[in-house]
Each structure stands twice: as C-alpha cells, then as structure tokens.
Chains A and B, each alone.
Chain A
Amino acid sequence: MDFAYTESELAFQQELRAWLEENLPEGWLEGKRVVPENEDQKAVFLRDWQRKLAEGGWAGISWPKEYGGRGATLMEEVIYEEEMARVKAPPVLNIIGTAMVGPTILQIGTDYQKERYIPKILNGEEIWCQGYSEPNAGSDLAAIQTRAVKKGDKWVINGQKIWTSYAHLADRCFLLARTENTGKKHEGITAFLVDMHQEGVETRTIRSINDRRDFNEMFFNDAIAYDEDIVGEVNQGWKTSLTLLSHERVGVARQTFRLQKQFEELVELAQLLKKNGRPLAADPLVRQNLAIFRAKTKALLFNYYRHLTNTIRAGRPGPEGSMDKLASSELGQEMLAYAMSLQGAAGTLWKEDAFVDQNWQQEYLRSFAYTIEGGTSEIQKNIVAERILGLPKDIKY
C-alpha cells in the first residue's frame, strides 16, 4: 500500500500548480471566487477561462499529443482533478467537448469530423452541449422520442431535449435521436453532431432553485443534420453513447477532491461562528458531527483510491464508480445541509446579504441536484445491486 506520487507525477503537479498561480482570475486564490451572475458577463468569464486553459495546454490533457493534448496518464488526470478542486477552479465551459465529444470523435469519428471539429473543441472556439434527456426520458434514457428522418441528403430532426447544461452558449450539440422504431428501446437510436446556430433549434434557459440558469430546454423543429454528422453508425447511437461514457476514466475524482476541500471549509466555518462567545467547534455535539463528516470524507477518498487501484490493475474502470457517485453526492448534500444548520437563523440570508459566504447558500441549493444529475441515486443503487452484488434486475418495460 502506497499513497505517494511518483517523481514524474509530482513534477506534473508542480507544473500545474505554477500555471494556476499565474493564470487563475485575479484574486481567485485569495478567496475572491465569484463567477459573475449576469448571464452575459458569465459567458464572457467562462469563455475567457476556457481559452486560457487551452492556451496553457490544460484543456484536454488526456488527448493525444498530435491533437494538442498531453497524452496524460490516468494518474495525471487524477492529479489534475485534485489540483483543480484544491483551488476551486472555475467551471470548464466546454467540458462536454473536451472530456466526452472530442475523445469519442478521436476514437470512432470520421477523418472529416476529426479535421472539422477537434481543433475548435480544444481551443474553445466551439462550445458543445449534450442532447440526451427528454421530458419523458430521464432515468429511462433509452425512451427518447426526438426523431431524425432522412429526407434526400438531409436528416430532419424534431423533438425536445431538457436539462442541457450550457445549451444557450453552445455552438454544437452531441444529440441522440431516434432514427428507427423497432419496438426495442435501445435500437434505432443515432448520435448526431448538430449545429446549434440554425433556424430549427431553439433554446430556453431553466431557472433552477438556486436562481441560476445553467440548464436548458432545447426545441428541434425541422432542424437539419447530414450523414457526415453521424458518429458511429446509423441506429447504433446507444453504442456510441456508451463509448462516450467510457471516456470518463477518472469517475467522480473532482467531486471526491472537492468534498475534501469542502470539509476543511466546514471546520473553518465551525471555528469562525460563535455561540456564547465560544467557537461552535468547541461544542461537543458539533465536534461529534464534524468527526462523523471527517470519517465519511476520508472514506470517500480512500474508496476512490481503492477503485482507482482496481482501474490501474485491470486497465479499465469497473462498476464501482456508481458507489463513489452515490456516496459523494449524498455526503455532499449532508455536509452542505450541516453548514446551513451551523449558520442558525441567519443561514437563509443569501447572495450579497449572506451571513458568511454566499457560496454556502448557493451550493446548498445546488446540492439537491447532486443525487439527480448523472444518474439518480436510485439508478446508481440499482447498478450496484445488479452489477456488483448480482441481485435480481428491476422489472423493466
């Protein structure tokens, strides 16, 4: 058993740290970490960060060198996530492009697609979104109803998508649409690369409970795509989408590392806030709760390391990622709820009137999405039950 990073891993870490110190937005490392709330300013802010990452060679580190990546090892990717979590780096606007669409095109895309799309993904010139969920296809994703029908040399797309992050800022969409109705849900789906700047595509932002507008609805009314925009084969889109998912090599690394940081901040909060002139952290009951969170936070990290060890030994990730996702999302919720409790009656004050730091309130509300997005906790539990424990499958229709 050995937690230590190798020399080359440490060198990688140092290089990234030095770059972050130079390039993070002004005041970011000192704690002034506010992404503009105004949607236009926010878009500018996120595009700037994306461009900086690309210029520094930190946008798609796992990409092969000939396509502008670093050919990073699995451990380097993990360290990358650790460092980004440590400094609470701004969100990556083109994450769908760099982490999923790009690698998928490189793996199974055509030469045309590689030439046309790859350079612009990395430098952030074209932002991507992912058109998967629909109003009637959430957890039951294969039930999608958006249709693409071939007319002449065109595919004509009609339907609605929902929960699409950053669709309102995106230039391109990785879209799953039904191209054939065989009666079997997983058949007859095709993956398209769709131009968002066309008449047949409309996006509408969704206001979330945290008063943000990061999610969208997308409406396709006779939107157009061509044969050259299909990834993988026609009617084999489900397979393509699995290829896309397989590029999530590092699992919930970022959330795991972020929670380590969040735990430290929770302790700081308990030391900062006072009751009867004494820090809350001196209250035995509070200390008990902090110690519970400490154990759970460390357990999450070591679970992650154990699963990472399995991935390294086996050469590919196993279904254990579902356990990490379950545990991290639920722990995140618990800790943020506790941070709210610690703040007492003033805890609900938010935005510029927030008691301590508005990020607590913001993230507390955001945390209700943790156990829904990327596969609900119920779906993750089914995966663990069926694929890891071998329990009977749910009845599916």
Chain B
Amino acid sequence: MDFALNEEQLMFQETTRQFLESKGDLTLPRDYMNGNKQVLEDLWNGLGSLGFMGINISETYGGLGLGALSLVPILEEMGRSVVPGPYPETVAFTAPLLEAYGSVEQKQKYLPEIAAGHRKFSLALLEENGELSPADIQLKAEQRGNDYILQGKKLLVPYADIVDTLIVPVRTGGTSQGEYGISLILVDCKQPNISKQELRSMDETRKLFNVEFHDVAVPSTQLLGAENEGWAILDQGLNYVNAAFASTMVGGIERVVEMSTEYAKTRQQFGQPIGRFQAVKHRIVDMKLALESSRSLSYYASWAAENNAEELAEAVSMARSFISEAYIKAAGANIQNHGGMGFTWEFDCHLFLKRARSLGNHLGSPEYHREKVAKELGWSDVVPEMMML
C-alpha cells in the first residue's frame, strides 16, 4: 500500500513552485490579464528547460518518458498560481495521443518541439449546440487530392490566439450522427482561411475564441489515428485532460485554504483573530476536507490514466464532478472569509473563483460527469448529453 507521490514527484512539485515563485506567482495571471503575452512565452521556455514540458514524452523524442502521475505535482502547482496557458491541452491531451496514435512523421515533427517548450496545442471541439456527443461533431472535412478541406466553426476554443496547432475533431464519413466517421485532424494555425474571434470571458486567464475554418486545406498526413475512428481517441484524450484539469483545480483549492487560514490567523476583530471564531474556523476545516477528498480523487484519476486502468472513465468523471463543485465552493468561501477585502479586484480571491467557474463546466459539467459515472457503473443505459453553453 502506497498512495502518495514518490520522491521524484515531490521534487517536481518543489521545483515547479520555486520556478513559478521566481516568475512572480500570482502576478503571472495578473500580467497575462493585462495583455502581456510575453508571460506565456517565458513560462513555456522555462518549463521546457526544466524538462517539464516533456514529462510524459518518450526519451526518443526528448522527453522523460514518465506517466500521468508525474504530471500531477506540476499541474497542482500551476493551479496554485492560476497559471495561464494551454499546458493541460498540450501536455496531458496531445502528447499521449501523439505517442499512442501519431505517425512517425507526426511524432518527429511535434513531440521534440513540445518537450522543448516550443509548441502549444489546443483542442477545437465544441460546435453550435455546445454539447459533446458524436452527433454534435459536424464540421466537414472533405478529401480533395491529398488534402482535407475543412469548412465550419468551432466554439469556445481556449488560447486559439497563441497556440501553434489545433486538434480538430471533424466528420469525414459515416452517418451524420454516429461515432464512426469522426476523425481527428492536426491543424497548424499558420495558414490562411482560419479566422478567430476573441470572446470576453470572466476568467481572463483563459482566453476563449470562436474559430472559423473557411475551406482550410490540411494535408491528409495530418490525420491523427485512423480515418473515421477518431471518437475513441478523442474520448481517451478527454479522460487524460480531465484528469489533468482535476489536478490543477486541486492546486487552486489548496491555495484558497492557505489564504483563508493565513487571513483568519492575522485579521483581528472583537480583539482577537477571526480564526478563533468557530463559524470561521470550521468553515475553513470544511474547505480543508474538500481539498483532501479532491486530492485523493485526482490522484486516483491520474493513477487510472497512468495505468490505463479499466476504471479510467469512471475515476476521471468522479474526480471532475466532485472537484469542480468543491473548487467553486471553496473559492466562494474564501471570499466570505476575507470579508469586504475578498470582494475587491486588488485581492487575489476572485482569480480562483473565476478559474473555478471557467473550468467547472469545461469539458463536462458535474452533472454530465455524474451521469457518466452512472453509465460506467451500469446503473442506466442512458447516454449522457454534455451541457456546456
């Protein structure tokens, strides 16, 4: 029995924390919110030189060849500092899918660049009705010569302005509703006919875009995995990236517990620290309990991801449903614990609330994930519909 991070993973945690502190900790998301895009470049380069962009990339391609559990400490630290950028999308989603399904050319082209911190990915998934089921993927990719021609629109794409490559689920065949006929295409963004419309989001640390493809020609060598068989790959990738988001959220919860604890020790009212009042201190204990349960479920999800365990989907959905709600609640309680100061833009409390909200329904609401748990455990035969908009 050993259910904890190992020494190497604890070292990753410490190194990441030192690195992020040296880069300004919570001033990172603040600078990014204020329009400083250089923040991301510095972060990416730094993480690349620490080797943290290639944790789960094989050594052949310049990585460390480790598994999903070794990402956990890094993701938690990023969540603590509300770090902007598509790290989960690039490292937790794209890297393992390329490793498992990429062609040799794709691996050679992309994996070393990811590991070096020189390439960012995002996922262009949602379409008009904002739900995730095979029937909701309708963006057409017609084969013309050696190209796929993409025509259509994807919504709420994170960081579309700065990523180098988008993974785009498209329809290449089959009926218009089924799993069969969906393919994943790697679309390099430096090409004409892709237009991006920035959306204002409450969480300004995660920029969202609508992306339109106007007859975008992509070489058919950019197909990831077999044609028409992309749904299962996508599903697997979503499990990986949701496990990763769970870990970043755990980092965020940990931070708000610390903020509340510190504030309750120092803030004085009625001649004593407010942390002496049980109404306050017990609320912080509730936050702490939610943190520990969240962390346990996130470890389990990443353990299942690392081992491709049979219970992967259930473990991930359990973690996401629980942790999304726990983070939103803890971030709200943190504002209450800080009183009026917690309501100011100047204090950092709102960064966590907004991040909690923007991730809370991202790639599956808590209700969606619970329905998925029910399905995985055979309580029903109803396929969950993802409600995202």
Residue of A nearest to B369 (CB): A291
Quick one: closest B residue to A74, CB to CB?
Answer: B1
Residue pair A327, B289 in contact (C-beta under 8 Å): yes
Contact check, B3 vs A378: say whether CB atoms are below 8 A apart.
no
Taken together as a complex, chains A and B put the C-alpha atoms of A326 and B322 apart, in Å, by 18
B contacts with A: majority SS: helix
Assess whether A305 is in contact with B1, with CB atoms less than 8 Å apart.
yes
Complex contact B371–A1 (CB within 8 A): no
CB–CB A302/B371 < 8 A? no
- Whether B281 pairs with A381 at a CB distance below 8 angstroms is yes
A290 interface residue (CB < 8 Å to B): yes
Q: Which positions in A face B, CB cutoff 8 Å?
A: 1-5, 75, 78, 267, 270-271, 281-282, 284, 287-288, 290-292, 294-296, 298-300, 302-303, 305-306, 308-310, 312-313, 323, 326-327, 378, 381-382, 384-385, 388-395
- Residue in B6, B264, B282, B367 whose beta carbon sits within 8 Å of that of A288 in the complex: B367
Q: In the complex, A247 Cα to B104 Cα: how many Å? A: 59
B200 to chain A, nearest CB (A): 32
Q: Contacts A288-B370, A390-B265 given: A382-B281 contact, CB under 8 Å?
A: yes
Please give me the residue from chain B that is nearest to A282 by CB atom. Answer: B380
Alpha-carbon gap, A292 to B326, bound state (A): 12
- Give which listed residue, B3, B281, B374, contacts A309 with CB less than 8 A: B3
Complex contact A287–B297 (CB within 8 A): no
- B126: interface (CB < 8 Å): no
Per-position binary interface string of chain B over residues 277-310, scored 1 when its CB falls under 8 Å from any chain A CB and 0 otherwise: 0100110110011001111110110010000000
Within the complex, the shortest CB–CB distance from A290 to chain B, in Å, comes to: 6
* Set of chain B residues within 8 Å of A381, measured between Cβ atoms: 278, 281-282, 285
B2 contacts the other chain (CB 8 A): yes
Q: Does B318 contact A (CB under 8 A)?
A: yes
A397 → B minimal CB distance (Å): 14
Evaluate contact between B284 and A294: CB separation under 8 angstroms. no
Chain A residues in 8 Å Cβ range of B272:
392
Interface pairs A-B: 9 shortest CB-CB = A302-B296, A291-B370, A299-B293, A305-B3, A287-B374, A295-B322, A391-B275, A392-B276, A291-B373
A251 to B1, CA, bound (A): 16
Do B318 and A295 touch across chains, with their CB atoms under 8 A apart? Answer: yes
Is B322's CB under 8 angstroms from A296's CB? yes
25 A-B residue pairings within 8 Å (CB atoms): A1-B69, A1-B299, A3-B3, A291-B373, A294-B377, A295-B319, A295-B322, A298-B296, A299-B294, A299-B296, A302-B3, A302-B296, A302-B297, A302-B299, A306-B3, A306-B4, A306-B295, A309-B2, A309-B4, A326-B285, A378-B282, A384-B288, A391-B264, A391-B275, A392-B275
Residues on the A chain within 8 Å of B3, using CB: 1-3, 302, 305-306, 308-309
Contact of B379 among A290, A309, A323, A395 (CB under 8 A): A290
| Docked CA distance A291–B377 (Å) | 9
Q: What is the minimal beta-carbon distance from A279 to any residue of chain B, in angstroms?
A: 9
Cα distance A389–B257 in the bound complex, in angstroms: 9
CA distance A1 to B377 in the complex (A): 24
Say whether A1 contacts B285, CB under 8 Å.
Answer: no
- Tell me which residues across on chain B come within 8 A of A290, comparing CB atoms: 374, 379
CB contacts (< 8 Å) of A284 on chain B: these are 371, 382
How many residues does chain B have at the interface if contact means C-beta atoms less than 8 Å apart? 45
Is B336 an interface residue, CB under 8 A from the partner? no
Most central of A4, A5, A296, A389 by chain B CB within 10 Å: A389
Q: Is B273 an interface residue (CB 8 A)?
A: yes
Q: Are B284 and A1 neighbours in the complex by a CB distance under 8 Å?
A: no
- Looking at the complex, which one of B2, B261, B276, B296 makes contact with A389 (CB distance below 8 Å)? B261
Cβ-neighbour of B282 out of A287, A306, A323, A385 (below 8 A): A385
Interface readout for B150-193 with A: 1 if CB under 8 Å, 0 if not? 00000000000000000000000000000000000000000000
Q: Verify B265–A291 contact, CB threshold 8 A.
A: no
Measured in the bound complex, the distance between the Cα atoms of B2 and A246 in whole Å is: 22
Chain B residues lying within 8 Å of A296, measured Cβ to Cβ, are: 293, 322
A4 to B303, CA, bound (A): 13
Least Cβ–Cβ distance between A287 and chain B, in angstroms? 4
Residue of A nearest to B303 (CB): A1
Best-surrounded residue of A281, A310, A385 (most CB of chain B within 10 A): A385
Q: How far is the CA of A96 from the CA of B30 in the complex (A)?
A: 57
Question: Do A391 and B284 touch (CB < 8 A)?
Answer: yes
What distance in Å separates the Cβ of A326 from its nearest Cβ neighbour in chain B?
6
Is B321's CB within 8 Å of the partner chain A?
A: yes
Q: Shortest CB–CB separation between residue A255 and chain B, in angstroms?
A: 15
- Which residue from chain B places its CB closest to the CB of A291 in the assembled complex? B370
CB atoms of A291 and B296 under 8 A apart: no
Closest partner residue, chain A, to B302 (CB atom): A1
A75, A78, A270, A299: most-surrounded residue (chain B CB, <10 A): A299
CA distance A308 to B257 in the complex (A): 23
Encode B117-129 as 1/0 by CB contact (under 8 A) with A: 0000000000000
Which B residue sits closest to A278, measured CB to CB? Answer: B380
Expressed in whole angstroms, the Cα–Cα distance for A2 and B3 within the complex equals 6
B228 to chain A, nearest CB (A): 32
Q: Is the CB of B370 within 8 A of A287?
A: yes
- The contact string, 1 if C-beta is below 8 Å from chain A, for chain B 227-266, is 0000000000000000000000000000001000100110
Please pick, from A4, A327, A378, A395, the residue contacting B276 in the complex, using a CB distance under 8 A.
A395
Q: Is the CB of B4 within 8 A of A298?
A: no
